[in-house]
Amino acid sequence: MNRALLKEITRQVARLCQESNYGIREDVHNSLYQAAGEESGLSKKILDILLENIEIAQRERIPVCQDTGICAVFLQIGPGVEIEGDKLGEAVEEGVREGYRDGYLRKSLVSDPLFSRKNTGDNTPALIYFDFELPFPNRIKITVFPRGFGAENMGKIAMLSPAEGEEGLKKFVVRTVREAGANPCPPVVVGVGIGGTLEMSARLAQKALLRPINQSNRDSRYAQLEGELLKKINELRIGPQGLGGKVTCLGVNVEYFPTHIAGLPVCVNINCYALRQASSVVEID
Amino acid sequence: MRPLKIQAPLDEGILRRLSVGEEVLISGIIYTARDAAHSRLIELLKKGLPLPIPLKNQLFYYTGSTPCPPGKIFGSAGPTSSYRMDSLTVPLLSRGLRGMIGKGQRSEQFGRLLRQYGAVYFLAPAGAGAYLSQRIKKAELVAFRDLGPEAVYRLWVDEFPTLVGIDTKGRDLYGVRTNLPFS
């Protein structure tokens, strides 16, 4: 990979770290506006504060939330792009380092999870995901998705038995959101991953959060499941900040994958109202 | 109902008159402290060493802000999930801490502790770090610089918006709002 391209990737990642954190994704923002129109009293007041919070963040170019997260970076690589994995990885890490430093974003990572818990100081390492499904030749699409931990801590995986089926799955998803209560900063967006293995279900749940909430799953059965889960979660009436109300969840996205005859893995990844994501495409000459 | 205005450090008599669910605007001096700062303070207390900040009648804000950009007073600073501090609060209450600002539910036992000590748990709007940073008028690093975002800052706040989450009678907003599924 030539040096100019790697430099451009670093520059883009740095920019996306900042852009993502100074606002929330447009589809979720629109949905939040709608939600504010449906609520009244205290719930409405809280949603209005969240909307004002986004306005201030965009205007002042400061993070919508102080938890600017552990940084997930998705690289979708089109045909015809020659890559050297280690150099590409380093270019992304450097982008995160620069983006978090120059954007005054919080460095929230500790190097060792159990013992020293010492801050790494530059918010690296990033979580880098490679994907080769981009249909456009000679392009790399970069998506930066900072993961705050108020919501991340509320996620769960279950290895259901196949016999538990659709009903068991719905119960698990709704129970997970109910138990999370006020902690993940509702109204939430919920990603559900079904199938694969334990590890794969978690990837799918996170991937589900990359899809706009106004786009249903292309498989009509899963699209219907998304709608039913959304309805059931909103019937919990957890509401904004967990203080009751009509709007607990702004959207549920489901992704699935083939799995083993003996299993039904399911992962629930809860995102706060502040779903932060930004993407850009780098073209290769 | 118009929100009540109170001062920090806190007045115990005024605290006792606050009622769960009430809107309260807080002005005055508060201290940021979250997970790691709590552990450090407790460690100092265990060793019998002096603390870098006062505790008597003080109010803690559970937050770890973003770095302050040039020309601004403080970074984005919303509340973090309070439940993680549940098991770290007794030694601080017993030395005079009388309030904390955070987000989310706390353990059932926590309400009893606040009743015992006459302390209050305040809720700040969750996920509104940019909005809340505008209510901070001055900030000063006072302890544990090496903790980075978890260092302790003294903040001068003006009409910082909160709700009474748990009052001095131990009544919990997440418990008294009857339609909540997780109380």
Which value does ipTM take for this structure? 0.94
Same domain for A201 and A108? no
Interface residue B127 vs chain A (CB under 8 A): yes
Predicted confidence (pLDDT) per residue in A99-152, tens digit: 999 999 999 999 999 999 999 999 999 999 999 888 889 999 999 999 999 999
Q: Determine phi and psi for A249, rounding to 5 degrees.
A: -135, 135
Same domain, A15 and A121: yes
For the domain that residue B77 is a member of, what is the CATH number?
3.20.130.10
Say whether both A121 and A167 belong to one domain: no
Average pLDDT over residues A77-85: 88
- Asked if residue A277 belongs to a domain, the reply is no
What is the greatest pairwise CA distance in chain A? 57
- The pLDDT of residue B40 is above 80: yes
Number of domains composing chain B = 1
Residue A2 has pLDDT above 90, yes or no: no
Inside any domain, residue A37: no
Please give the pLDDT value at position A135: 84
B181, part of any domain: no
Provide the domain count of chain A: 2
**8 Å CB contact between B18 and B149:** no
State how far the Cα of A39 lies from the Cα of A47, in Å rounded to an integer.
Answer: 8
- Residue A15 and residue A138 in one domain: yes
Question: Tokens 């502790």 map to which residue?
Answer: B113
- Is any Cβ of chain A less than 8 angstroms from the Cβ of B83? yes
Please answer yes or no on whether B131 and A66 come within 8 Å at the CB atom: no
Q: Which domain holds residue A90?
A: 3-20+64-147
Question: Is the alpha carbon torsion for B52, B53, B56, B62 positive or negative?
Answer: negative
- Average pLDDT score over residue span B132-156: 97
The answer on A203 and A176 residing in a single domain is: yes
Q: Calculate mean pLDDT across residues B24-43.
A: 97
CA B50, CA A112: separation in Å to the nearest integer? 29
Average pLDDT over residues A246-267: 98
> Predicted confidence band at B177 (pLDDT cuts at 50, 70, 90)?
low
| Confidence at residue B183, expressed as pLDDT on a 0 to 100 scale | 40
The mean pLDDT of A188-216, rounded to a whole number, is: 98
A41 inside domain? no
Task: Give me the mean pLDDT over the B2-18 stretch.
Answer: 96
Residue A215: Cβ within 10 Å count: 12
**Residue B38 is a catalytic residue:** yes
Which among A128, A147, A166 is the end of a domain?
A147
Range(s) of the domain holding residue B79: 4-159
Can you read off the two tokens belonging to residue A9? 């990737």
- Span B175-179, average pLDDT: 59
* B12 torsion bin: left (phi>0), alpha (psi -120 to 50), beta (else): alpha
In this complex, the residue of A63, A121, A182 whose CB is nearest that of residue B104 is A182
What confidence tens digit (pLDDT) does each residue in A207-220 have? 999 999 999 999 99
Whether A259 and A138 share a structural domain: no
Among A106, A121, A274, whose Cβ lies nearest the Cβ of B64?
A: A106
Name the average pLDDT for chain A. 96
pLDDT in tens, A13-61: 999 999 999 999 999 999 999 999 999 999 999 999 999 999 999 999 9
Q: Given this model, what pLDDT does residue A134 score?
A: 81
Residues A112 and A234 in one domain: no
Is A44 domain-assigned?
no
Residue type, B112: R
- Let me know if residue A48 belongs to a domain: no
Q: pLDDT class for B168, splitting at 50, 70, 90?
A: very high
Same domain for A9 and A123, yes or no, is: yes
User: Residue A84's pLDDT is what?
Assistant: 83
Who has greater pLDDT, B1 or B6? B6
Domain assignment present for B122: yes
* Domain contains B95: yes
A10 & A101 share domain:
yes
CA closest to A181 among chain B residues: B182
Which listed residue (B20, B32, B38, B133) is catalytic? Answer: B38
Q: Are residues A140 and A173 in the same domain?
A: no
Instruction: Compute and round to an integer the Cα radius of gyration of chain A.
Output: 19
Domain boundary pick from A147, A179, A200: A147
CB contact under 8 A, A243 and B148: no
- The reply to whether A92 falls in a domain is yes
- Last residue in a domain, options A147, A182, A202: A147
Of B15, B6, B18, which Cα lies nearest the Cα of B97?
B15
Mean pLDDT across A268-279: 98
The answer to whether B67 faces chain A, any CB pair under 8 Å, is: yes
Q: What is the pLDDT of residues B141-151, one digit of tens each?
A: 999 999 999 99
State whether A172 and A196 are in the same domain: yes
Candidate from B66, B147, B173 with C-beta closest to A63: B66
Contact between A195 and A204 under an 8 Å Cβ cutoff? The reply is yes
The 3-state DSSP class for residue A94 equals helix
pLDDT at B7 over 50: yes
A245 and A165 Cβ atoms separated by less than 8 Å: no
Of A179, A186, A156, A165, give the one whose Cα is nearest residue A269.
A156
